[in-house]
Amino acid sequence: MAYHVGSEVGRLRQVILHRPGDEMTRLTPTNKDDLLFDDVLWLHRAQAEHDQFAHTLSSRGAEVLYLTELLTETLAVPEARTHVLDAVLDPRSFGKATADMLHAWASGLSDADLAGVLVAGVTKAELLAATDEKPSLYLRTLAPSSFLLPPLPNHLFTRDTSCWIYDGVAINSMRKPARMSETVNVGAIYRWHPRFAGEQFPTWADGAAEGAATLEGGDVLIIGNGAVLIGLSERTSAVGVERVAQRLFAAGAATSVIAVDMPHVRAQMHLDTVMTMLDPESFVRYAGFGPRDTLILRPGPRGGLKVSGHRASEFDRVLARALGLDAVRVLTPPQDALTAEREQWNDACNVLAVAPGVVVAYERNVATSEFLRGHGIEVLEVPGGELGRGRGGPRCMSCPVLRDPL
């Protein structure tokens, strides 16, 4: 199968999701901020909401792939298992004694149990209950409930750690420490899982190996016509955008990358929290975001870049020209300031297109959905009372790997 995502709105055929699991039971009022959540989730309800989300996608023709299942099947490949364990059980982090304990214990787990641990984490008490303790200053300094491997609740947002851009995938370098280990799991899947291992596709970014040149998938919109829109947000750096642009241009995979200046605030952490695409010529945009300054990157001589700056007043014209259109339609719900802020906080603009003009949205964002329907957009509503506590909507929770061409 040739994986390809050439737009934000082509009919969705295959998508990676992560059904929330035991990692969510590790969230507490004390650690939730470090783990980038605003509240603790009720797992049973969150799973029910996620199941309805997955059903909505599959009912519209998309094959749903689950991250934990992909990771389990990847760990059945000996080389992949060795790579993952070596990456997450680095003696430089734990000391040799504790790293050896963890490695011996993890090596004896089944593929499914190891996948569960890699996502849900393990505490000191859990390790000691399963293995014989060895002398370790590091272990002696930890409380029984301290995490040796931290939980990864943000795996829920599969968009960020990897994103398909035209005919290749970016395995992204994450800004926040709480998310950096996610790329180990995702990178192993793309490298060794039988579904992907036999395919030939370029890799536009290589996870933690990219260092501080961060790029997160929530900032990347594949708007089509060879153009990519990327937010310069609190999570995505200018160097990260330059790097992916140069690789795309060198491969002839894209003709322009439009970098969008963004506020560096949590409420607008990614471009897709304030702006997403509805059909080949339409966007929904949060009123508080508004038009923004842009920098357009194009291929330059001898592998370099050409960079041109454009004022905020030109934002919509920049989008239209990139798409080869006379104009784009930008739908901004006419809401009072309080309603607009509430709906944006609940990811009203973070919609996932499953086909041109058909999007999935949280049911709680009534005003925005009614406005979109009034402009001819079909809105498929899903619950998000628990899922939304991590500040991510349907687009955040999905990593398309195959869409139909427009």
For 358-364, what is the mean pLDDT? 96
pLDDT digits (tens, 9 = 90+) for 382-400: 999 899 888 789 999 999 9
Do 136 and 282 fall within a single domain? no
Do 134 and 215 fall within a single domain? no
Q: Which two tokens stand for residue 217?
A: 């998938």
> Could you give the number of structural domains in the chain?
2
Do 251 and 175 fall within a single domain? yes
3-state secondary structure 218-263: HHEEEEECCEEEEEECCCCCHHHHHHHHHHHHHCCCCCEEEEEECC
Residue 7 is assigned to a structural domain of this protein: no
Residue 389 is assigned to a structural domain of this protein: yes
Instruction: State residue 393's pLDDT score.
Output: 94
Confidence bin at 345 (pLDDT 50/70/90)? low
Do 164 and 308 fall within a single domain? yes
Domain end, chosen from 120, 149, 178, is at: 149
Q: Kindly tell me if the per-residue pLDDT of 346 is higher than 90.
A: no
pLDDT digits (tens, 9 = 90+) for 327-340: 999 999 887 677 77
Determine whether 349 is an active site residue.
Answer: no
> Which secondary-structure segment (H or E) carries 105?
helix 96-107
Do 273 and 344 fall within a single domain? yes
Do 122 and 250 fall within a single domain? no
For 171-200, what is the mean pLDDT? 94
Q: Which two tokens stand for residue 244?
A: 């992916």
Residue 21 is assigned to a structural domain of this protein: yes
Do 99 and 238 fall within a single domain? no
Owning domain of residue 115: 74-149
Residue 79 is assigned to a structural domain of this protein: yes
Q: Which two tokens stand for residue 152?
A: 């990864």
For 37-62, what is the mean pLDDT? 96
pLDDT digits (tens, 9 = 90+) for 87-121: 999 999 889 999 999 999 999 999 999 999 999 99
Residue 121 is assigned to a structural domain of this protein: yes
Residue 234 is assigned to a structural domain of this protein: yes
Q: Kindly tell me if the per-residue pLDDT of 266 is higher than 80.
A: no
Cα gap 109→133, rounded to integer Å: 18
How many Cβ atoms from other residues are within 10 Å of residue 64's Cβ? 16
Domain harbouring 90, CATH code: 1.10.3930
Cα gap 258→305, rounded to integer Å: 12
Domain end, chosen from 149, 167, 194, is at: 149
- Select from 339, 381, 390 the least CA-distant residue to 362: 381
The DSSP result for 165-200, as a single string, is EBTEEEEPPPSSGGGTTHHHHHHHHHHHSHHHHT--
Cα gap 74→193, rounded to integer Å: 5
Domain end, chosen from 85, 115, 149, is at: 149
Instruction: State residue 131's pLDDT score.
Output: 86
Do 188 and 118 fall within a single domain? no
- Cβ contact 56:66 at 8 Å: no
Q: Which two tokens stand for residue 295?
A: 């920098």
- From the list 163, 349, 396, 399, the catalytic residue is 396
- Select from 271, 285, 182 the least CA-distant residue to 232: 271
Do 306 and 269 fall within a single domain? yes
How many Cβ atoms from other residues are within 10 Å of residue 159's Cβ? 28
- Cβ contact 359:377 at 8 Å: yes
For 276-280, what is the mean pLDDT? 97
Q: How far is CA 82 from CA 94, 96, 114, 119, in A?
A: 17, 17, 12, 17
Residue 280 is assigned to a structural domain of this protein: yes
Q: Kindly tell me if the per-residue pLDDT of 267 is higher than 70.
A: no
Domain harbouring 381, CATH code: 3.75.10.10
Amino acid in the structure at residue 353: A
Query: Has this prediction a pTM greater than 0.85?
Result: yes
Instruction: State residue 13's pLDDT score.
Output: 98
pLDDT digits (tens, 9 = 90+) for 190-244: 999 999 998 989 999 998 888 888 999 999 999 999 999 999 999 999 999 999 9
Instruction: State residue 150's pLDDT score.
Output: 94
For 132-141, what is the mean pLDDT? 85
Q: Kindly tell me if the per-residue pLDDT of 133 is higher than 80.
A: no
Do 132 and 181 fall within a single domain? no
Do 65 and 142 fall within a single domain? no
Confidence bin at 1 (pLDDT 50/70/90)? low
Do 274 and 287 fall within a single domain? yes
Residue 1 is assigned to a structural domain of this protein: no
Helices and strands (H and E) in the chain: how many: 15, 19
344 Cβ partners below 8 Å, 6+ apart?
267, 268, 273, 274, 286, 288
Amino acid in the structure at residue 273: T
Q: Kindly tell me if the per-residue pLDDT of 149 is higher than 80.
A: yes
- Select from 185, 138, 186 the least CA-distant residue to 127: 138
308 has which bridge partners?
Answer: 296
